[in-house]
Amino acid sequence: MSNELVISSTQKGDRIALLQDKRLQEYHVEELDSSFTVGDLYLGTIKKLSSGLNAAFVDVGHEKDGFLHYQDLGPNINSLNKFTKDIIAKRANTGRLNNFKLEPEIEKIGKIDKVLAKGAPILVQVVKEPISTKGPRLSCDISIAGRYLVLVPFANSVNISKKITDRAERTRLLRLMSSLKPQNFGVIVRTVAQGREVEELDRDLQNSLDKWETAMQALREAKPRDRVLGEMNRASSILRDMLNESFDSITVDTREAFDEIKHYIHTIAPEKEKIVKLYSGKSKVFEALGLEKQIKSLFGRSVSLPGGGYLIIEHTEALHVIDVNSGNKSNSEEDQEATAISVNREAAKEIARQLRLRDMGGIIVVDFIDMKRAENKKLIYDLMRDEMKFDRSKFTILPLTKFGLMQITRQRVRPEMNVATREVCPTCGGTGTIQASVLVTDVIENNLDYILTRQNERGITVILHPFLHAYFTKGWIRSRQWQWYWKYKTWVKLIQDSSLGLMDFRFLHKTGEEIELSAQVI
């Protein structure tokens, strides 16, 4: 399986597409002025404590205060608050914690008003971006993500990813990281660290420590609402999490992005530096690679399946609903059960792709085509789990109910990706109504008369819809086109264009330039 990353830079920001075997799998739009990205650190101020919710509302500069629940404080919130005050008061000159005395951990089940005070400054991290009318979701359990490791300040534990199952490798990584990590910093070893040499792990650890140090230096001079550490851009975070041997191409269309990505690749995986390419074609990179067409076809309400079935995707405030339909597939199988299995298998693969592509989060309900046999229902359930295992977001899948419904929950950390796949009608301008079609021929002839008699134009061309072209040329020698010739003593060339609406037409000079029509005549 080959992976490609395509980045198109615009004035508003970057468009990022992740392809697997030339098929679009993820699509992101990153605006230049975007803030409150997952992973950002902010110096906030506690505005309100809600004992009923056991949560605090924190002012971090968004129009809606951020939400901080007691369970998101982390066990070492007292140590974080103490160190934050020391940094702001300039009693601490560095982010290193070697000589820092940790405070006792808070209770797992406690009251937030016993830990925090209204009006106090607090260092928080964004764990969920603002969605709809809600402000960002915040956490005080700070973590700095690297390629192989996650650095956790004010902790001393070393945790290994559960996906690393080899006991010898887990023991090696545990001993290695216990000897490398600084005092009062915890480490979570990611799955991609399996088999990596000590030099690579140590370099990644030092990079994360440098980020923490940079944040603490910014905190010394920060004012309330300031961002003290920005998460890397979306393209770099994708590379950080997914770059492996299967990546064979990274295409960018600006020199600035090319230099930035190449520098980052050189830092995390020097051997992959040569796969970064600068696109220099005349057309836009998304257009040249066929991505625009894929995007338009994949983000609509209806999504086609390869075998003739299709999905209908609806979004509500509470959940997402996906309906699976057989379409013309129902005529190609021997019986109903075979049709259901065939369409549902294709649907499961496409749904897993659509969840990643649109970044759909929360509750998703899928209405599969009914299947009678329990083993077939289990087959679709297992297939969906296999397809979803590549998803970077946390998810839970429940088996199909007796009504053929599958319930999925998927971590929601940013607004869902929406792409407008419908365009404003060029004929009605979006009003839903057009001029009476019976009058269009009169309008064309009125304009023709005005151009030929008032403006004395000759050799003009009229571009119009094929239906109108047939109407004006029908009857050959008795056609309206020939009648114009006898009347005006000049030939009017007619060209049909199926891309035009029925009511649309254009007049051209003999030079090929469009003639501006008088509003009074129209």
pTM of this structure: 0.66
pLDDT at 244: 65
- How far apart, in whole angstroms, are the C-alpha atoms of residue 397 and residue 49? 35
Closest alpha carbon to 64 in 51, 48, 76: 48
How far, CA to CA in Å, does 443 sit from each of 18, 418, 521?
Answer: 50, 40, 7
Query: pLDDT tens digits, residue range 68-83?
Result: 999 999 999 999 999 9
Spatial contact of 240 and 207, defined as CB atoms under 8 Å apart: no
pLDDT at 502: 80
Here the tokens at position 333 are 């199988």
**Nearest partner of 350 among 329, 322, 328, judged by Cα:** 322
> pLDDT tens digit string along 445-500?
888 988 888 888 888 999 998 899 999 998 878 899 999 999 999 999 999 887 77
Neighbour-count burial of 121, counting CB atoms closer than 10 A to its CB (0-12 exposed, 13-18 middle, 19+ buried): middle
Give the chain's radius of gyration (CA, Å): 31
Residues of the chain with pLDDT under 50: 520
Report the half-sphere exposure of 92 (CA within 13 A, side-chain side).
22
- Grouping H, G, I as helix, E, B as strand and the rest as coil, residue 362 is strand
Task: State the number of CA atoms in the 13 A half-sphere of 467 facing the CB.
Answer: 10
Contact predicate 288/253, CB 8 Å = no
Query: Distances in Å between the alpha carbon of 113 and those of 54, 162, 461?
Result: 8, 35, 79
* Beta-strand relationship, 158-160 and 505-508: unpaired
Q: Enumerate the β-bridge partners of residue 304.
A: 310
Could you tell me which of 391, 356, 279, 275 has the C-alpha nearest to residue 7? 279
Tokens at residue 487, please?
């009347």
Identify the pLDDT of residue 515.
86
